[in-house]
């Protein structure tokens, strides 16, 4: 098997006086979707932000594509090919959809073929291309946030709860876009509470508790084992 695109080794991150990540070990295989699961507040978002550099790790190591990025600034991690879609969307409300997308481009102008693909994946963005992003619906803002992170090809995408609060029809649009992204060869680390999406998209899974990864394996294995789900996450995926 080839080297994982990302390995976390014993990662510790503090937020203020709180010791949030307490030795996270995690591998994200190349070209796969890895689900990061767990109860609320166990450190999933903090893990993504530590990988991106928005929180700096106190100790431990982040290896990305053969390089130690633990101490690099956010901008260098982005240039190295990591894209991050935060849960709070981070779009600019006063700018148009187009302007938001252009701001997502770091290496040159918006590539027309990439734009065509994104507008076919998320047609509403084409309809509102010249509208202010603040006027979009909640689901459309979420699509814009994801589409902006996909506007240039990245090797690794970190995506935090992309389907949160979305209507079922939009959830399947989002899931399809992520499937297409994977088909293009990207690696994805995905935090997702919607278990039917997790089951449908995930190749492997890592479950966190109390600032650590407590289980890793195939997503299909976790999805098939109710006792394991109850033990790791306190719930059964079938009921969610
Ligand atoms: N800015 C902050 N200041 C203080 N504590 C924080 C901050 N951000 C997160 N935390 C705390 O860190 C812990 C982990 O939070 P995190 O958002 O990483 O969890 P999560 O697993 O993503 O949770 P959820 O599923 O609820 O989104 C929580 O106890 C949270 O309260």
Ligand 1, from 13, 42, 234: best to mutate by most atoms within 8 Å of Cβ?
42
pLDDT value for 7? 98
Residues 131 and 170 in one domain: no
**pLDDT tens figures, 49-105:** 999 999 999 999 999 999 999 999 999 999 899 999 877 667 899 999 999 999 888
Give the other-Cβ count within 10 Å of 115's Cβ: 18
Residues 214 and 167 in one domain: yes
* Nearest atom within ligand 1 for CA of residue 39: 25
Pocket lining: 43 vs ligand 1, CB cutoff 6 Å:
yes
Residues 136 and 162 in one domain: no
Whether residue 1 is predicted with pLDDT greater than 70 in this model: the reply is no
pLDDT value for 90? 76
SS (H, E, C) the chain: CCCCCEEEEEEEEEECCEEEEEEEEEEECCCCEEEEEECCCCCHHHHHHHHHCCCCCCEEEEEECCEECCCCCHHHHHHCCEEEECCCCCCCCCCEHHHHHHHCCCCCCCCHHHHHHHHHHCHHHHHCCCCEHHHCCHHHHHHHHHHHHCCCCCCEEEEECCCCCCCHHHHHHHHHHHHHHHHCCCEEEEECCCHHHHHHHCCEEEEEECCEEEEEEEHHHHHHCHHHHHHHHCCCHHHC
Nearest CA to ligand 1 atom 7: 15
State in Å: Cα 43 to ligand 1 middle.
Answer: 6
Nearest CA to ligand 1 atom 30: 41
Residues 185 and 70 in one domain: yes
Domain boundary among 113, 137, 153: 153
Give the global pTM: 0.91
Residues 73 and 167 in one domain: yes
* Confidence tier at 237 by pLDDT (50, 70, 90): low
What was the ipTM of the complex prediction?
A: 0.94
What total number of domains does the chain contain?
2
Nearest CA to ligand 1 atom 17: 45
Pocket lining: 113 vs ligand 1, CB cutoff 6 Å:
no
79, 126, 179, 215 from 176: Cα distances, Å: 26, 17, 5, 27
**pLDDT tens figures, 109-124:** 999 999 999 999 899 9
Residues 49 and 163 in one domain: yes
Residues 103 and 207 in one domain: no
Tell me if 48 is assigned to some domain. Answer: yes
Pocket lining: 13 vs ligand 1, CB cutoff 6 Å:
no
Pocket lining: 44 vs ligand 1, CB cutoff 6 Å:
yes
Nearest CA to ligand 1 atom 23: 41
């Amino acid at each position: 098997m080839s080297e994982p695109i990302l390995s976390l080794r014993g990662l510790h991150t503090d937020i203020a006086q709180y010791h949030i990540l307490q030795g996270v070990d995690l591998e994200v295989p190349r070209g796969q979707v890895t689900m990061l699961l767990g109860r609320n507040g166990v450190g999933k978002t903090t893990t993504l932000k530590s990988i991106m550099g928005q929180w700096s790790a106190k100790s431990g190591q982040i290896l990305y594509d053969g390089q130690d990025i633990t101490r690099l600034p956010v901008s260098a991690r982005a240039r190295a090919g990591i894209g991050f879609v935060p849960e709070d969307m981070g779009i600019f409300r006063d700018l148009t959809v187009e302007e938001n997308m252009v701001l997502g481009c770091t290496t040159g102008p918006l590539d027309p073929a990439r734009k065509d693909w994104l507008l076919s994946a998320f047609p509403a963005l084409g309809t509102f291309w010249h509208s202010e992003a603040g006027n979009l619906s909640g689901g459309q803002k979420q699509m814009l946030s994801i589409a902006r992170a996909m506007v240039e090809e990245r090797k690794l995408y970190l995506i935090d709860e992309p389907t949160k609060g979305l209507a079922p029809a939009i959830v399947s649009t989002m899931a399809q876009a992520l499937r297409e992204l994977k088909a293009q060869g990207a690696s994805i680390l995905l935090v997702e509470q919607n278990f039917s999406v997790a089951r449908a998209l995930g190749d492997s899974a890592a479950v966190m508790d109390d600032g650590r990864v407590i289980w890793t394996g195939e997503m299909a294995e976790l999805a098939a084992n109710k006792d394991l789900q109850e033990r790791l996450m306190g719930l059964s995926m079938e009921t969610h």
